[in-house]
Amino acid sequence: MSDVRKRVSALLKKVRIGRRGSTAKRAARQLLQGFERFGIDFVFDVGANTGQFAQQIRGAGFSGPIVSFEPLSDAHKKLREAATSDARWSVHDRCALGDSDGSTVIYIAGNSVSSSIMTMSQAHEDAAPGSAYVGQETVPVWRLDSVAASYLGVARRPFLKIDTQGFEWHVLTGARETLPRLEGVLCELSLVVLYEGQHLWRETIDRLEAAGFTLWGLQPGFTDKYGRNLQVDAIFFRVR
């Protein structure tokens, strides 16, 4: 590659990174506006990976307690390291959250963040070839209902963030007793099937609205090379 092409390639890479960073910051600011409006004082961070979400909301100004959950052993180790300097950020023992207590197999994606308990669809692999599964691990599974009480304490208006790659429905099922205590939820909504057997956006919106939440905002998510939105992040709050 010529020097000119190298410089152009490096510049384009910086622009792409800058855009992603700006998008993440805008999303965090929008979420924090909702936190302020509804007085959110505690966050469950489910599917934390290496701590990106917690760091984003901290950077946007959230100062309340955060409890993160992550099933992948490598990501969990990095997550613990990221949280060491934050006294109000706790990391639960390595586990997935789901609709029953026990254990299961999680498939490890080449890009880590697309790892899931569910089988990845061909549509997902075609849109992001680097996300194909490269391994698997056995992981403990807990219901949020089994662990939430030990963390909530005096939290008045807790919030639940779910980023579990198609497994969101199962997390909600395992949180039936906890949901009435929550003031808001952030979860991924798939517009097409990205993981076999997952529930799509209409069903998830209907379920959360039936539980008393109102769709408050939508944020850009996973897009294929043709510009088609495959997944978005949805913010829900209890509007009283």
Among 21-25, 82-86, 91-95, 180-184, which is the least confidently predicted range?
Answer: 21-25
pLDDT tens digits along 48-102: 999 999 999 999 999 999 999 999 999 999 999 999 999 999 999 999 999 999 9
- What band does 213 get if pLDDT is binned at 50, 70 and 90? very high
What mean pLDDT, rounded, does the chain reach?
90
- What band does 14 get if pLDDT is binned at 50, 70 and 90? very low
Task: Look at residue 136 in the predicted model and tell me its pLDDT.
Answer: 95
Q: 50 or 5: which carries more pLDDT confidence?
A: 50
Encoding tokens for residue 229? 């939105």
**147-150 LR contacts (CB < 8 Å, sep 24+):** 147/92, 148/44, 148/175, 148/177, 148/178, 148/181
pLDDT tens digits along 91-130: 999 999 999 999 999 999 988 888 999 888 888 888 888 8
Q: Is the pLDDT of residue 158 over 90?
A: yes
What is the Cα–Cα distance from 116 to 136, expressed in whole angstroms? 9
Segment holding 46, helix H or strand E: strand 42-46
Q: Give just the sign of the alpha carbon dihedral 135, 145, 67, 170.
A: positive
What is the Cα–Cα distance from 94 to 73, expressed in whole angstroms? 7
Encoding tokens for residue 156? 């008045």
Nearest Cα to Cα of residue 147 among 208, 69, 48 = 69
For residue 79, give every residue at least 6 positions away whose Cβ sits within 8 Å of its Cβ, in sequence order, or none. 48, 49, 50, 51, 68, 70, 91
